[in-house]
Amino acid sequence: MALQLRPNCESCDKDLPPAATDARICSYECTFCADCVETRLFNVCPNCGGGFAPRPIRPAHEWRPGACVTKQLPSDKRVHLKYAAEDVAAFVARVKDVAPDSR
């Protein structure tokens, strides 16, 4: 099963097209832009507490049959945080000093 490749940052709603090099995801595919991950979230997913990694870029060209962005379409469903900014800030402050592999 392919990654959803969500189209936006869940925090600031910045567009993150499939080839965006500044898209970051957690293990649950929560999607944020690099700026929010670095300056607001401090590498803490506000939904699960996990860390982030760069989102892979799905090939635009079909190098192998059926494996490309036009054959496995990215999601068009925009996702937004369900937590208030104050709650996110408090959660991040509590978790950010714990290394992702220890959370």
Three-class DSSP labels, the chain: CCCCCCCECCCCCCECCCCCCCEEECCCCCEEEHHHHHHCCCCCCCCCCCCCEECCCCCCCCCECCECCCCCCCCCCCCCCCCCHHHHHHHHHHHCCCCHHHC
Q: Is the pLDDT of residue 47 over 80?
A: yes
Q: In this model, does residue 1 exceed pLDDT 80?
A: no
Mean pLDDT score, 22-26:
98
Q: Could you tell me if 52 and 26 are in contact, meaning their C-beta atoms sit under 8 angstroms apart?
A: yes
pLDDT, one tens digit per residue, over 67-83 is 999 999 999 999 999 99
Q: Mean pLDDT over residues 28-34, rounded? A: 98
Residue 65 burial by Cβ neighbours in a 10 Å radius (0-12, 13-18, 19+): exposed
The residue-averaged pLDDT of 79-91 equals 97
Output the pLDDT for position 13.
Answer: 98
- Does the pLDDT of residue 2 top 90, yes or no? no
Summarised one tens digit per residue, pLDDT across range 50-62 is: 999 999 999 999 9
